[in-house]
Chain A
Amino acid sequence: MTTAITGSGTSPTRRPRRTGTGARRSRRIGFLLLLLLLLVLAVLASIAVGAKAIPLGHVWDALWSPAATEDDLVVRTLRLPRTVLGILVGIALGVAGALMQGHTRNPLAEPGLLGVSAGSAFFVVLGIFAFGVTSLYGYVWFAFAGAFAASVAVFLLGSAGRGGPTPVTLALAGVAVSYLLRALSSAIVLSDSATLDSYRFWDVGALAGRDVAIVGQITPFLLVGLLLAFANAPGLNLLALGEDVARGLGQNVTVTRWTGLVAITLLTGAAVAACGPIAFLGLVVAHLARFCTGPDYRWLLPAAGLAGAVLLLVADVVGRVVARPGELQVGIVLAFIGAPFFVALVRRRKLVRL
């Protein structure tokens, strides 16, 4: 009897809400499919477009029935690894950016905020200066070590006081450590011009010149990072209500925070190790994805990852086209394409609060 009454009482109010969530879900799925389509197009463009004009038919042949011609070599050894790397790094930076903004609840947060980029850069400088490392393979391990050392230092310092890590202390500790490490890097670079000469090519941030071996080096870290990130999404949704509410709803806040921070470090560390610091991508893409999916991290993370891959590949392709026969580095192109687009979007849409 009572169930019947409550059932009839709630159904008129519940009904429009259900159709509302249904519509929202189909819109989100639509956005993800659209992003996937864009990614496929970007991948095709990234394989087909470059300094050397190769007809589409030859590209197709090179992919499926290679015959060791020059075109085949270009496609298989240069463009294909570069494209794969672009997808991986774009996904990593997009997801890491969304996670970072979720954990710090600050729209200015970017994946490198916890000192990851600065730590990588400092260790790469040290590697060049003290150990004479000059190859990209060597840089990768130094960059990784630096990313982990810096973020561990920031976590420890940011959570040293009473109450554990809070968004503001973490962000400030990250900023301070980043500044310190960047200052030390510049001190070394300014005193030794040979180091500057090797370092500036890493520092500019590019996809060019990376091959399959580097993809292999970073992939395991990326996979673990992505797993942790997606496991972190429901907890992050609760944390967005405030720590007290999340705790009251049964969430283990400490575990959620640390999972997210480890995921950010793995993803950003791998991306920076492979491509140099291009963390601006993560900031932009997280906002773009939030405009499309809203604040639910279970949808936001995949959307941010896909959008990151699309934007990075598009910027890379544009960089190959605009400065023929040379190239414009992807970091510079990102600033010129991504930033105006971002500003236009921020102006047009109502901001989703973090």
Chain B
Amino acid sequence: MTGQGLKPGEPGTTLVPGRPAIRVGGFSGVWRPRLVGITLVGVALVVLISAVNIGRGDFPISLGDVLAALAGGGDRAQRFIVLELRLPRTLTGVLVGAALGLAGALTQSVTRNPLASPDLLGVTGGASAAAVTVIALGGGSGAAVGVLASFGVPLVALLGGLLAAAVVYGLAYRRGVVSDRLVLVGVGVNAVAVGITSWLLVVADINQAAQATVWLTGSLNSSGWAQVVPIGVALVVLVPTALLLAFGLGALQLGDDTASGLGLRVNRSRVALGLVGMALAAVAAACAGPIGFVALVVPQVCLRMVGAARPPLLTSAVYGALLTVAADLIARTALPQELPVGIVTAVLGTPYLLYLLSRRNRGVRI
């Protein structure tokens, strides 16, 4: 039975029926029709919902007019609304959601823990603490805070998130990074960051505390092209990096000993992939504030939809974008009062995850 399918000298032999291997030069992969199909459906849905999101609002614009405005036609009012208001907001939602989905998938794969996400490991907490520091103490004197405030809140949040990621890895590194230690150090760093945030909210002036609370709920309300460009650049750089590095992930799933036995540099790939994930989360938090839920739950949903052994990276990014944009659409148009996106993502995503959990309870581990 063993060795029956694989004959020496036949490199292209199919080991699993329906999953032929693809080999291009030095790279190889497995053709998974379900994965590809679900990802493509996700992309189509993202495009569709984005178009609806651009069209709907206080000033409804038909889908044809939206396309015309995008192509440079339409009247001036329509062009302004589409190009200056709704398109950047929708794009920010798509990009932030994609960054969060990918960040969550990377973090969960690297730590092999389904409960790990950048929200829990200190990155979002660090970004929040830094942003709240500037918002809450911005009115006061303090030379250091003044210098920071001149950077603007998004940049400071980004720096805070990256600093937190560096601290987590620095403290967790002890002749290599063990995933459990990484996760626990992350929880500790996150607790400190959350403590700083709540302490600042207590001591700050009430108006600034209210302003900080608005930032902390995470929303796309004030998104313009100034948000789209940085997160777009970050995604263009970080997504290919993640996909290139991800070739080691399959081996990493088998445990540290097996992975190093297979020739993988465990520490190097774990640190690199983890840092890419955390950087994505930091950029997302800097652009839209801490939007919860997406990074934690979307990879788990995708894992179960696709039937893979670990959270699929690109699929998670696509469905993260879908969830965020759909939540933004509902938050903007369907509810009597505009709510922050982070609230609607949870309401939309939870029932589906619970449905998947009850459907396929096979004790999936990652």
Contacts and interface: CB of A to CB of B under 8 A. Distances in A.
Interface of A: 106-109, 113, 157-158, 160-163, 166, 168-169, 171-173, 175-177, 179-180, 182-184, 186-187, 190-191, 204, 280, 283-284, 287, 328-329, 331-332, 334-336, 338-340, 342-343, 346-347, 351, 353
B7 interface: no
B113 A108 contact: yes
B346 A179 contact: yes
A339 B191 contact: yes
Interface string B323-366: 00000000000000101101111110110011001111111110
A9 to B, nearest CB: 34
Interface of B: 113-116, 120, 171-172, 174, 178, 180-181, 183-185, 187-189, 191-192, 194-195, 198-199, 202, 217, 292-293, 296-297, 300, 337, 339-340, 342-347, 349-350, 353-354, 357-365
A136 to B, nearest CB: 19
B342 A161 contact: no
B181 A161 contact: no
Contact of A172 (B342, B343, B353, B359): B353
A158 B359 CA distance: 11
20 contacts: A108-B113, A160-B361, A168-B365, A172-B114, A175-B115, A176-B353, A179-B346, A180-B346, A186-B217, A187-B343, A190-B217, A190-B340, A287-B184, A334-B191, A335-B191, A335-B192, A343-B189, A346-B185, A347-B172, A351-B181
A108 B183 contact: yes
A334 B364 CA distance: 34
Nearest to A162: B361
Nearest to B361: A161
Nearest to B357: A169
B292 A179 contact: yes
Given A284-B188, A346-B188, 12 more contacts: A106-B113, A161-B361, A171-B114, A172-B300, A176-B357, A179-B293, A184-B347, A190-B339, A332-B202, A342-B187, A346-B184, A351-B184
A354 to B, nearest CB: 8
Contact of A177 (B178, B202, B350, B365): B350
B181 A347 contact: yes
A347 to B, nearest CB: 6
A315 B300 CA distance: 36
Given A180-B347, A184-B347, A204-B198, A336 B361 contact: no
Contacts of B346: 179-180, 182-183
Contacts of A177: 350, 354
Contacts of B185: 343, 346-347
